[in-house]
């Protein structure tokens, strides 16, 4: 086919108009940017503004989250051509609630350690603001990404004296009686060990501490559901029992990681038993080897799970593009590569059913001799009480125990 000068001119004009059209479209709609002529695009088109995605998260998952965020941003995922830029700030789980309620922070996503905080935030925000800032029932915008139960970590020699190979269903009642006994370990024919020393974190700052006092309360009543505010406020016998146990604790650490490190570093001179997350215990299992005897994990008779939800804030400051970006990030957190890393490197239980907890190299397999159990399906889990009950328990601790 022969091209005449006139036809050439027409074709060049059409190409020029198409290029200009794509250029204008790329200016208006960043999703068109990649279709623009590359030299012109890089020289003249400004890069699309990133979508800012501020997140408040609990400290327990910091190492894993840092790794996953780097991978997510490197993957080049966009919303309408806009890259997603994640901004994270770590806080205690209960501090996240306070910061959002007080308006000190305006995140798009929050990720406390447990849905316990979401239930409390839902109740408190409805009372204070007239609307709930979170909707835990909406799995599209509020979803657990990894899980880990609360466990009791003990020096095996001490635990075997107190309860043998496994604690009974009356664990919390028996532990209470041991802690308030003025004879301490002498009551168990071990006077050289001094007092029995138990520790958990501050329930006003740390989720694991709050999970501990919740399990204690359920344990006193011998039930796993239907806890009420009256159980906490109207039973003087319970209050006396609860405060006797809490007043035996000399210091409440602000975070779970430092509590566990303190136990491993100083041994039974500081703590005989502590409550921490299973993942935290796995993280320190290797460091504890050969220091003060065998460090062993015991599962409470009824479990409480730290389910690490990522939840979209229902705030006026959240844009539709931020909602879409948040949804993409939550989906990435639950992808197989991210879930595999959470378990193999950091000891969290994945929510993805594609990943086996007993695969070669799994920490649950490697540290099975220390009491870690991969299969907890036969164990009961406590019901998450209503938000007002959770807030009542926190207030009771704050008024009667808080240093």
C-beta of residue 45 within 8 angstroms of C-beta of residue 33: yes
C-beta of residue 261 within 8 angstroms of C-beta of residue 211: no
Three-state DSSP class for residue 1: coil
Closest by Cα among 333, 335, 313 to 322: 313
Contacts of 336 (CB under 8 A, 6+ apart): 352, 354, 355
Question: What pLDDT score does 16 carry?
Answer: 54
**Category of 281 on φ-ψ map: left (φ > 0), alpha (ψ -120 to 50) or beta:** alpha
Question: What pLDDT score does 23 carry?
Answer: 46
DSSP 52-72: EEEEEE-GGGHHHHHHHHHHH
Looking at 191-275, list the stretches that DSSP marks H as alpha helix, in order from N- to C-terminal side.
207-221, 229-233, 236-246, 256-266
- Report the alpha-carbon distance of residue 57 to residue 141 in Å, rounded: 16
- What is the domain partition of the chain in residue ranges? 5-44, 51-145+308-350, 148-306+360-384
Question: What pLDDT score does 60 carry?
Answer: 87
Tokens 């001119």 belong to 9
146-155/273-277 β-pairing: antiparallel
- Report the alpha-carbon distance of residue 152 to residue 104 in Å, rounded: 35
CATH, domain 148-306+360-384, list 3.40.50.880, 1.10.3470.10, 3.30.2130.30, 3.40.190.10: 3.40.190.10
Question: What pLDDT score does 286 carry?
Answer: 81
C-beta of residue 146 within 8 angstroms of C-beta of residue 122: no
Class at the top of the CATH hierarchy for domain 51-145+308-350: alpha beta
C-beta of residue 91 within 8 angstroms of C-beta of residue 56: yes
State the distance between the two ends of the chain, measured CA to CA, in whole angstroms: 91
C-beta of residue 215 within 8 angstroms of C-beta of residue 299: no
For 64, the token pair is 């894993």
Question: What pLDDT score does 20 carry?
Answer: 52
pLDDT, tens digit only, all 403 positions of the chain: 554 565 555 656 655 555 555 445 444 445 544 544 455 444 555 668 899 999 999 988 999 999 999 999 999 999 988 999 999 999 888 899 999 999 999 999 999 999 999 999 999 999 999 999 999 999 888 999 999 999 999 999 999 999 887 788 889 999 999 999 999 999 999 999 999 999 999 999 899 999 999 999 999 999 999 999 999 999 999 999 999 999 999 899 988 989 999 999 999 999 999 999 999 999 888 877 777 888 999 999 999 999 999 999 999 999 999 999 999 999 999 999 999 999 999 999 999 989 999 999 999 999 999 999 999 999 999 999 998 999 999 999 999 998 7
Whether 51-145+308-350 and 148-306+360-384 share one fold: the answer is yes
Question: What pLDDT score does 15 carry?
Answer: 54
Question: What pLDDT score does 32 carry?
Answer: 46
Question: What pLDDT score does 25 carry?
Answer: 47
- Report the alpha-carbon distance of residue 348 to residue 297 in Å, rounded: 15
């Amino acid at each position: 086919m022969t091209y005449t000068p006139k036809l050439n001119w027409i074709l060049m004009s059409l190409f020029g108009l198409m290029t200009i059209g794509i250029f204008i479209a790329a200016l208006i709609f960043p999703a068109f940017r990649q279709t623009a002529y590359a030299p012109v695009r890089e020289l003249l088109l400004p890069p699309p503004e990133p979508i800012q995605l501020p997140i408040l998260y609990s400290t327990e998952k910091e190492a894993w989250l840092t790794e996953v965020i780097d991978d997510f941003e490197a993957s080049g995922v966009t919303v309408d051509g806009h890259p997603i830029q994640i901004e994270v700030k770590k806080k205690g789980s209960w501090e996240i609630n306070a910061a959002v309620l007080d308006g000190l922070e305006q995140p798009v996503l929050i990720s406390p350690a447990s849905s316990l905080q979401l239930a409390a935030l839902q109740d408190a925000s409805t009372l204070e603001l007239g609307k709930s800032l979170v909707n835990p029932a909406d799995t599209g915008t509020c979803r657990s990404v990894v899980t880990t139960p609360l466990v009791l970590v003990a020096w095996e020699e001490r635990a075997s004296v107190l309860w043998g190979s496994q604690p009974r269903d009356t664990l919390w009642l028996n532990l209470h009686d041991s802690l308030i006994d003025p004879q301490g370990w002498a009551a168990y024919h071990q006077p050289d060990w001094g007092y029995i020393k138990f520790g958990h974190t501050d329930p006003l700052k740390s989720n694991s501490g709050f999970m501990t006092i919740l399990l204690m309360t359920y344990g006193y009543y011998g039930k796993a559901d239907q806890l009420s505010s009256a159980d906490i406020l109207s039973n003087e016998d319970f209050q006396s029992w609860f405060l006797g146990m809490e007043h035996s604790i000399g210091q409440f650490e602000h975070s779970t990681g430092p509590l566990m490190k303190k136990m491993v570093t100083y041994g039974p001179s500081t703590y005989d038993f502590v409550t921490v997350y299973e993942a935290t215990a796995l993280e320190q299992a290797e460091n504890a080897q050969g220091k003060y005897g065998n460090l062993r994990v015991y599962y409470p008779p009824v479990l409480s799970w730290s389910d690490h939800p990522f939840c979209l804030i229902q705030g006026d400051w959240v844009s539709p593009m931020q909602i879409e970006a948040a949804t993409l990030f939550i989906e990435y957190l639950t992808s197989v590569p991210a879930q595999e890393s959470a378990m193999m490197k950091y000891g969290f239980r994945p929510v993805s059913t594609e990943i086996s907890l007993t695969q070669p190299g799994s920490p649950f397999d490697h540290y099975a001799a220390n009491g870690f159990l991969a299969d907890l399906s036969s164990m009961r889990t406590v019901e998450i009480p209503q938000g007002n009950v959770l807030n009542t328990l926190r207030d009771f601790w704050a008024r009667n125990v808080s240093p």
